[in-house]
Structure 1
Amino acid sequence: MGGNAQESAHCYTLKFAKAARLASLMAAATALVWAQSLPLEPLHEAGASVTGAFEGWYKNADGSYNLLLGYFNRNLKQDLDIPIGPDNRIEPGGPDRGQPTHFLAGRQWGMFSIKVPADFGTQKLTWTIVANGQNTIIPAGLNPDYEISPFEEAAVHNTPPVLRFEERGPSVQGPRGLTAERTAKVGVPLSLTVWASDDAKLTTSSGAPPRNLGPPVVLRWSKYRGPGQVSFNAERPEIEKLESKEAAFSGKAVVTATFSEPGQYVLQVVANDYSGEGGGGFQCCWTHAQVSVLVQR
């Protein structure tokens, strides 16, 4: 090989090596940023942030839309109370758009929805949460990639559980929400009864039934809003199975809630079916309902 050819080849090799090294560094940096942005980042017992989570949107029969939101509290052992205001606000139209003020530890899926008009278009809502001195902001809008089907899972036509606060009373299915009203006294247990039914169909990410198949419906009670502490005798109560010709599974669960201070509270019950929390990634199928409680001394 001639001198010029050797020099050219050497330059090409150096340029290629530099380009490869640069690409490697860029890939490593990108991977680091991506890893930092994942919700799987290391959790803390306390002192970490809380981030809103936009689950997606769905269209209503009247042409309007609902934006479904949850959150991720990165603290393992720290539930947080963040009042509506500068540290917990949704805009525009807020700061109060029905979001929780009590944040349970961990990932909480589809806790509430916000109805927006048919002409919402490319507008956005933003949810700002300041927890433990850390500020997070998320957008929510009608991005086509975020359209969800929370009322039916397409593969097996699984549907969310149905909840009632009275045996033959009004019902709710999916994230639409249902609110009952109760009164209570400080320190006196309030009895709460929920009737639940479900089609008992399976939705799993792999398509295979779970190895340890639990009950068709699992309930979880929690404080959603309120000035004091709420103690449940069972946050995840057992469901008494009932005979029914209308559903594959039907049952009833009773819990008691005790309040530490007077004031207005909102309690929430979430019903998950076999698909599990968050619907196994399908955004279907769970149902939530609320109880508004006026607590007096």
Structure 2
Amino acid sequence: MSKVLAAACLLSLSAPAAAQQIPYTQRPFAEMSLRPSGQPVIPVYDGWYANEDGTSSICFGYFNLNTEQTIDVQLGPANAIAPAEFDGDQPTHFDPVPDPELTNKYRHHWCVFTVRAPADFGAGRVVWTLNTQGEDLSVPGHLLPAYVLEERTSPGRGAVAPSVRLAANGPEGYGRNGLSGEPRTVSVGEPLELTAWVEHSEPGTWLGWTKHQGPGEVTFSAPEVVVSEPSGNGATVARFAAPGEYVVRVQAINDPGPRNPTGGFEFHCCWTNGYVTVTVTP
């Protein structure tokens, strides 16, 4: 039976001295829990929000307890969502914990994908199970009112999700539901330029590129790009080490606070997810 880990444990400010002997499902997590490698990835339920069509989006992120080790878990029993109708969009690639200069409070990867629940979902649950480093951890997503998120805009903070296009004349999208770019094809080892065009009321939109799914290593010439003007674009060059089907994820955020453009991650609002499917040939 899967162990259920409540996302609320991430809010703890201290860790027990004997943490290595306590099951992960019973531990609070803070920076002292982090290690360079050898620790699991924790699936995280970040909350939910209503959509205009009557459906709801359930947000999931993850907390990699390693500061250096990247972990990959392909879709299957070790990386699955139930009910099965919602399975398939979760990441298979888990980057190390973000640098403290990026998001220095809770330090996890925020709402990297959403599950769209139907209008009659009610008290249903969507459970993401992830097995890493021998730890079988699960988290339930739901529509409880206490977990509702602001989406696209946060009037109290003056935050607005950037508008993003993944082609110069392509459709625009904003918010965590994400938009999908046109599929791309490239050969192993060959460069593939990926560009996001952004519009925001303020300069300084941060773009973060990473592998979301795929069988092999992906490197980026610029994993993080800051668009200095309110309207502009940020590009990176990706190279793929193995053939297969991949999904590249980009997140765009611009926080109104003076600290840095990514501070809004800590307030659960407001950013845009984008996804590009890439077929890599031998």
TM-score by length of 2: 0.82
| Match of residue 247 from structure 2 | 266
How far off is 1:137 after superposition? 1.0
How far off is 1:46 after superposition? 0.8
The range that moved more, 95-104 or 30-39, is: 30-39
| Match of residue 90 from structure 1 | 81
Q: Secondary structure at the match of 1:281?
A: helix
Between the aligned partners of 2:144 and 2:30, the Cα distance in structure 1 is: 21
Q: Percent identity?
A: 36
How far off is 1:89 after superposition? 0.8
Contact between 2:152 and 2:269, CA under 8 Å: does it hold in 1?
yes
| Match of residue 257 from structure 1 | 238
Alignment of 1:94-133 (within 5 A): 96-106=87-97, 107-133=108-134
Two-structure CA RMSD over aligned residues (Å): 2.2
Contact between 2:75 and 2:88, CA under 8 Å: does it hold in 1?
no
| Match of residue 74 from structure 1 | 65
User: Cα deviations across residues 250-295 of structure 1 (Å, max 9, x unaligned)?
Assistant: 1112211111111111001111212544725321111110110011
Between the aligned partners of 1:281 and 1:46, the Cα distance in structure 2 is: 24
Alignment of 1:129-144 (within 5 A): 129-144=130-145
| Match of residue 184 from structure 2 | 182
Between the aligned partners of 1:117 and 1:278, the Cα distance in structure 2 is: 31
Q: Which amino acid aligns with 1:63?
A: G
TM-score by length of 1: 0.78
Q: Secondary structure at the match of 1:61?
A: coil
Contact between 1:88 and 1:95, CA under 8 Å: does it hold in 2?
no
| Match of residue 218 from structure 1 | 206
Change (3 A) 1:258 1:51: same
Change (3 A) 1:277 1:137: farther
Contact between 2:192 and 2:237, CA under 8 Å: does it hold in 1?
yes
User: Cα deviations across residues 169-199 of structure 1 (Å, max 9, x unaligned)?
Assistant: 2011010111121110111101112111112
User: Cα deviations across residues 100-127 of structure 1 (Å, max 9, x unaligned)?
Assistant: 0001111100100000111111111111
1:279 corresponds to 2:264: yes
Between the aligned partners of 1:196 and 1:173, the Cα distance in structure 2 is: 10
Q: Which runs of no fewer than 5 residues in structure 2 stay unpaired?
A: 1-13, 17-21, 98-107
Contact between 1:57 and 1:146, CA under 8 Å: does it hold in 2?
yes
| Match of residue 236 from structure 1 | 224
Contact between 1:130 and 1:136, CA under 8 Å: does it hold in 2?
yes
Contact between 2:196 and 2:234, CA under 8 Å: does it hold in 1?
yes
Change (3 A) 1:278 1:103: farther
Between the aligned partners of 1:274 and 1:98, the Cα distance in structure 2 is: 27
Q: Which runs of no fewer than 5 residues in structure 1 stay unpaired?
A: 1-29, 201-214, 242-248
Q: Normalized per residue, which structure has more helix?
A: 1
Q: Which amino acid aligns with 1:50?
A: V
Q: Secondary structure at the match of 1:66?
A: strand
Q: Secondary structure at the match of 2:153?
A: coil
1:172 corresponds to 2:163: no
1:42 corresponds to 2:52: no
Change (3 A) 1:277 1:64: same
Q: Which amino acid aligns with 2:190?
A: V
